Structure 1
Amino acid sequence: MGCTGSRHALRGGVRSPHAWGRSRSGRAHHTVALKSSTLGSLSLERDEEMMKWRDDGGAGAAKTPQLMRRQKQVPGSPAREPEVINVWELMDGLDDRDEEGDDANAGGEKPAPGSPAFDPDVVAAFRKALDEIPPPPAPDGPGNDEERIKKPDGPGAGGGGDEVCVRKREIQRFPGIVRARVSAFQQRIDAKLAKLAPPPPAVPPPPDSARKVVVYLTSLRGVRKTYEDCWSTRSVLQSYGVRVDERDLSMHAGFKDELHAALGSSAGRLPQVFADGRHLGGAEEIRRMHEAGELSEALEACEMAPPPSCPGGKGVALEACSGCGGVRFVPCEECSGSCKVFVEEAGTFRRCPECNENGLVRCPLCSL
């Protein structure tokens, strides 16, 4: 009916005017008869070209002749193996140089102890800041034991350089070295300040303590350890045969005031021993001096006690006193231990001036 079939059109029987118009535009268009085998091969080749273009990232189409010439002019740097630098070799000899510098500066002018260079507060603050530094985190795995640091080629190098392999455990040791040096410096400052500081004041001797041993103790058995220390110390001192003045704090409150006046708040626990007015210490110090053989030298200035055969003699004997039985106190004869006396002129009772708060007085036979 005047219509051309598809086979006739594909064989080149009739061509549309649009196809001739396209051929005149400058680019040649070819008409190809497609079959099943040809269609598959064409699509496959096209897919391969598309994959190559995608892998290339389109860089091939974007390259310009100027960029190609610039790439040809840049020379490739030769591959080098990573250089390993031992940090300890670099640090070797620094301590010796510092000590030599200290010896060289020893003859020069020394800064005053109050100068900023030797200010203990500054060093203490720096030491506190070092102590507050948290420890470095542990490596996550065996691969994190080394760290690569870029080392420039020279002072004028722009960006090139070699990578230096440094172990992390060596870097983490540096804060410990600094802390040790600061501690040593702090010890030197403390030693210098201790030499410049005035000596501590001597402990004032208790009253009536010349040429004899004064022992402050207690006869109460509420605390077993204290009671045993008091009487073991008393036995050790009596074994040397010196005059021992036992002052029982539980029998007379005035002894407590004497002890606090001599030692202050540092009186510590009982017993406390004084030899010729010099403080020797407590039970532990007396036991240590006795075992080391030093107690006899400390008691050389004290008088010896009279022999026990001397009746009524003053001093401490190995036998108990006939007047107090070794208690060192007897009831008051004025008030009979009541702490009150009747005054006939006033017609009232008053406090007894002879006895203590317990109605006791010191034994006139064995008290020193």
Structure 2
Amino acid sequence: MEKSGWWRKVGLLRSFQGADEEDERKPVKPPPKGNKIVVLYYTSSRVIKQTYAECSAVLSILRGHSIFFQERDVFISRKHLEEITDIFGGPISVPRLFVAGKYVGGFQRIIELNEGGELKKLLNGYIKKRPKRVCKGCGNMRYIVCFICNGSKKFYEEERKEMVSCNTCIENGLLPCPVCMLGAVE
């Protein structure tokens, strides 16, 4: 069965033959601005249940280690989708974890490392207690509405006396929450 359109580009659909196999292609380069932090590429889309379940499990594991990490949701941000496609030289399934710019692996590898206790050692230098309370910036949604365009992607510029496109936020008018990201900036 040929996959077409947006789904093929995203790379979230798995072939029927290899749905349970881990795609372990090596990245061709590290993630942008990810040399000193933990970066997780994942999806919050519930369209493909297995992928969503795997991403949720990895998020839960990382949150259980009480670390600050940068969450790069390929469903929310086209920029993150393009980043991971560029990193691997083509579409790849998520979740994908990087620590200090080095590729750790996908779902199966992260589970194996966690069960063997190796993930804790790998994340040792990054462990910081995450607050157990709700974020005052975003209510634990990880994104806020753009304060320049109010989520509309356009705003009135006084100088030019016209509506202009907002370049501050991602394509859906959101920004990563600065309060949540405080511990994950370089």
Same-fold status (TM-score > 0.5): yes
- 1:340–1:292: structure 2 CA closer, same or farther, 3 Å change rule? same
Identity %: 34
State the structure with more CA Rg. Answer: 1
2:40 match: secondary structure: strand
| TM-score, normalised relative to structure 2 | 0.76
* 1:327 aligned onto 2:141: yes
- 1:344–1:202: structure 2 CA closer, same or farther, 3 Å change rule? closer
* 1:287 aligned onto 2:108: no
Instruction: Quote the residue 2:35 is aligned against.
Output: 210
Aligned residues: 158
Give the Cα separation in 2 of the matches to 1:273 and 1:207: 13
How much is the aligned-residue C-alpha RMSD, in angstroms? 2.1
**Match runs of 1:265-304 below 5 Å:** 265=90, 267-300=91-124, 302-304=125-127
Give the Cα separation in 1 of the matches to 2:75 and 2:134: 20
- 1:307–1:243: structure 2 CA closer, same or farther, 3 Å change rule? closer
| TM-score, normalised relative to structure 1 | 0.40
Q: In structure 2, give the amino acid aligned to 1:286.
A: I
| 1:334 positional shift | 1.2
Give the Cα separation in 2 of the matches to 1:206 and 1:362: 17
The answer to whether the 8 A contact 1:212-1:242 is kept is no
* 1:257 aligned onto 2:82: yes
1:342 match: secondary structure: strand
- 1:345–1:326: structure 2 CA closer, same or farther, 3 Å change rule? same
CA displacement 1:324-366 (0-9 Å, x = unmatched): 1222110011111111111234332110121121011111111
Q: In structure 1, give the amino acid aligned to 2:180.
A: C
CA displacement 1:167-213 (0-9 Å, x = unmatched): xxxxxxxxxxxxxxxxxxxxxxxxxxxxxxxxxx8742212223321
The answer to whether the 8 A contact 1:271-1:283 is kept is yes
| 1:243 positional shift | 2.0
1:330 match: secondary structure: strand
**Match runs of 1:148-159 below 5 Å:** none
Structure with more relative contact order (C-alpha pairs < 8 Å, separation 6 or more)? 2
Give the Cα separation in 2 of the matches to 1:325 and 1:241: 18
- Unaligned 5+ segments in structure 1 are 1-200, 309-317
Give the Cα separation in 2 of the matches to 1:297 and 1:306: 16
Q: In structure 1, give the amino acid aligned to 2:151.
A: G
| 1:272 positional shift | 0.6
Q: In structure 1, give the amino acid aligned to 2:156.
A: F
